[in-house]
Homo-oligomer: A and B are copies of this chain.
Amino acid sequence: MDRGELEAKRLTPAGERILSAASALFYERGIRTVGVDAIADAAEVTKKTLYDRFGSKDKLIAAYLEERNRSWHRFLDEQLDARDPQTPEEVILALFAALSDWMAESRRGCGFINASVELAAPDHPAMPTIVAQKQWMRAEFVAQAELAGFRSTGELADRLLLLHEGALVTYRVAAMEHAPEVAHRAAADLLAAWPRV
């Protein structure tokens, strides 16, 4: 996996506190239900400072998703270091195994899917980050599938992505507690049966 260079803008101490308070609140309670006053309170900062640093709620939302994307990648790197996969197939399966750990801490599913639904407007400044996060997953599946010598890697990656996102959403919406494990088993079977070049 490439250790991606997603540079974080440098923030002032108050800026950091705002972003981390916003991240927690946005994820836990939803973007629309959390007002800027609540964020400023939680960060122990005045609204003035919040607007001096981020300009608008929409831009703060965008910063939240970029930050969440960075911590998702950080998390994946840790997981891959810990699991130490030896083959591309094992890398793919490690990505599914990581899902269990990632969701164990957070009852509210995928922050990107949630944001996509809550923001709705396709021209929202945060939308590119959301789509990019999903496209990155697919690209990673393709890359590993190529390395493994699988045939029709595009179709394989699509199916893996369906399982991955399906796990995220059924875990939350259909209350399927074991969704990540089901996805992991399904992915393993899928790889085992997939034709090679």
Binding site for B on A (CB under 8 A): 29-30, 32-33, 108-109, 112-114, 116-118, 120, 130-131, 134-135, 138, 155, 158-159, 161-170, 172-176, 178-179, 182-183, 185-186, 189-190, 193
Contacts and interface: CB of A to CB of B under 8 A. Distances in A.
Given A33-B120, A118-B118, A120-B33, A165 B159 contact: no
Contacts of A155: 182, 185
A173 B168 CA distance: 12
Given A163-B166, A167-B162, A182-B159, A173 B134 contact: yes
User: In terms of DSSP, what is the predominant structure of the interface of chain A?
Assistant: helix
B117 A117 contact: yes
